[in-house]
């Protein structure tokens, strides 16, 4: 069954957020499976771009502390806070980072974001491709 054009779940972005959590916690995917009750097969399928079932989505979201609604694109949905503002809030709330480290990371991200973002309304090539795809630098 096709997903209506007015809504879609970005499974690749959701998986990238889970993978970032795994990396940040320094654990293995086997440990994720054990801690969440989600089979290794399901996690592998997600790595290949498959959407998780509702139970897996809920368990992984709760485990990682992320909102699955952030990965749904609804026509007319408010964009919410600016991405860099959201990132800044998260960095400053991280107990593993001191104020100077959070400020340094913010500066690096701001610089990279400004360099890489597309102008409003621009066609974004590869915007729906997996995060594992090729990254091409601008010259």
Describe the crossing of helices 29-36 and 54-64 by its angle, rounded to 10 degrees: 110
Average pLDDT, the chain: 81
- Average of pLDDT values for 69-74? 81
Same domain, 13 and 65: yes
Q: Give the pLDDT of residue 45.
A: 95
Whether 91 shows a pLDDT value over 60: the answer reads: yes
Whether 24 is covered by a domain: the verdict is yes
For the ranges 11-20, 46-55, 106-115, 123-132, the lowest mean pLDDT is seen at 123-132
Looking at the domain assignment, is residue 58 inside a domain? Answer: yes
Element (H, E) at 8: strand 7-9
Is residue 87 predicted with pLDDT exceeding 90?
A: no
Q: What are phi and psi of 130, to 5 degrees?
A: -60, 150
Q: Are residues 91 and 34 in the same domain?
A: no
Helix (H) or strand (E) holding 20: helix 11-25
34 shares its domain with 95: no
Same structural domain for residues 87 and 73?
no
Claim to verify: residue 14 and residue 46 sit in the same structural domain: yes
**In this structure, are 54 and 19 located in the same domain?**
yes
**Structural domain boundaries enclosing 91:** 78-116
In a shared domain, residues 49 and 91: no
pLDDT confidence bin for 1, thresholds 50/70/90: low
């Amino acid at each position: 069954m096709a997903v209506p054009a007015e809504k879609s779940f970005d499974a690749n972005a959701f998986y990238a957020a889970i993978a970032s959590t795994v990396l940040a916690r320094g654990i293995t995917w086997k440990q994720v499976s054990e801690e969440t009750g989600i089979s290794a097969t399901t996690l592998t399928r997600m790595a290949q771009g498959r959407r998780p079932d509702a139970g897996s989505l809920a368990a992984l979201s709760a485990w990682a502390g992320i909102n699955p609604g952030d990965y749904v694109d609804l026509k007319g949905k408010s964009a919410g806070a600016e991405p860099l503002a959201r990132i800044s809030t998260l960095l400053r709330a991280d107990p593993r980072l001191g104020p100077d480290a959070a400020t340094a990371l913010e500066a690096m991200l701001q610089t990279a974001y400004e360099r890489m973002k597309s102008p409003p309304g621009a066609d974004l090539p590869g915007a729906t491709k997996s995060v594992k795809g090729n990254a091409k630098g601008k010259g």
